[in-house]
Structure 1
């Protein structure tokens, strides 16, 4: 794939996937990091709502890890997808929902970077999707696991990005109502 084409994140054909930001998992993350990650995911999800980007969310074994944190749960289109496989792609309802969006690019955020997020990334890349992994909107309990996930994501062909970089790529120009609303979100985080 042409490297420039791979790096461009386009609004049309992109889906935001929020992986496993759950009530009993979040407290296991470093307090400062988890707050920043949730703030960034919330900004991305709100921007997705503003610009019309579809949003899918998953929960890993919610009976044990609880539901999606309240500040993010309302952003999912349709029901939050429950799963037992680490990769979201191990759940048929996730694949069906994704297929229904007619997307070829995935904006990927969530927890934990080196387990569910990374395994989802591998499966999505393997299925021909171009994954944009938002490094400041993912986390792991340990920094080494987080950094290894980033390195491995690059090796797998994913594009590693940031919240602000991704949002400005999706907007592509200033002066619109969408730009003004999303700019305010970026300033507020």
Structure 2
């Protein structure tokens, strides 16, 4: 049976957290910022449980601050943090080499902002041959119209738009998975 490229598998996935930084997060609409952080905490907990590797990027941390402190407890000490000025993470020094080391084909893309860094990163990674999944409830833009436009463009380009819950259940694949009960509690 051939692999279904439209369903992500834990053993083929890498989770990328793009630019969820103190000052950038503060610019997101009320409610959106906290929703994204909560969704990322859930996804990071699932990734840890299922041994899905994580890469974090920070866009110009001197100006935008570092990764949101609420995410730090969910990151391993060995999680690569790629500092960048390019909007596409794929163009940042060390990003593609960090990704290649992982030998994962499915990229689970989350973070800020959807119409800038998420969009450009997704399209670059897709062009590099990766299967890209953008997690709609774990990305954000300052404006709804930019968010909507970016998600539409990504869909049209063949990027898979998904949700945190869908990703977790795809990673589990079966209710008999030994971690099913523990992870189901995360999204209950």
Would you say same fold, with TM above 0.5?
yes
Between 1:65-74 and 1:80-89, the stretch displaced more is 65-74
TM-score by length of 2: 0.94
Aligned length: 185
**Secondary structure of 1:53's aligned partner:** coil
Deviation (angstroms), 1:59: 0.2
Deviation (angstroms), 1:78: 2.9
Gaps of 5+ in 1: none
Counterpart mapping for 1:21-170 below 5 A? 21-74=20-73, 75=75, 77-170=78-171
Q: For 2:51 and 2:19, how far apart are their aligned partners in 1?
A: 22
**Secondary structure of 2:20's aligned partner:** coil
**In structure 2, what is the equivalent of residue 5 of structure 1?**
4
Between structures 1 and 2, the one with greater helix share: 1
**Secondary structure of 1:116's aligned partner:** helix
Q: CA RMSD in A?
A: 1.4
Q: For 1:178 and 1:87, how far apart are their aligned partners in 2?
A: 34
Between 1:68-77 and 1:136-145, the stretch displaced more is 68-77
Q: 1:13 to 1:176 in 2, by over 3 A?
A: closer
Q: For 1:161 and 1:55, how far apart are their aligned partners in 2?
A: 18
Deviation (angstroms), 1:5: 2.1
Between 1:44-53 and 1:68-77, the stretch displaced more is 68-77
Deviation (angstroms), 1:101: 0.3
Between 1:126-135 and 1:72-81, the stretch displaced more is 72-81
TM-score by length of 1: 0.94
Q: For 2:99 and 2:67, how far apart are their aligned partners in 1?
A: 19
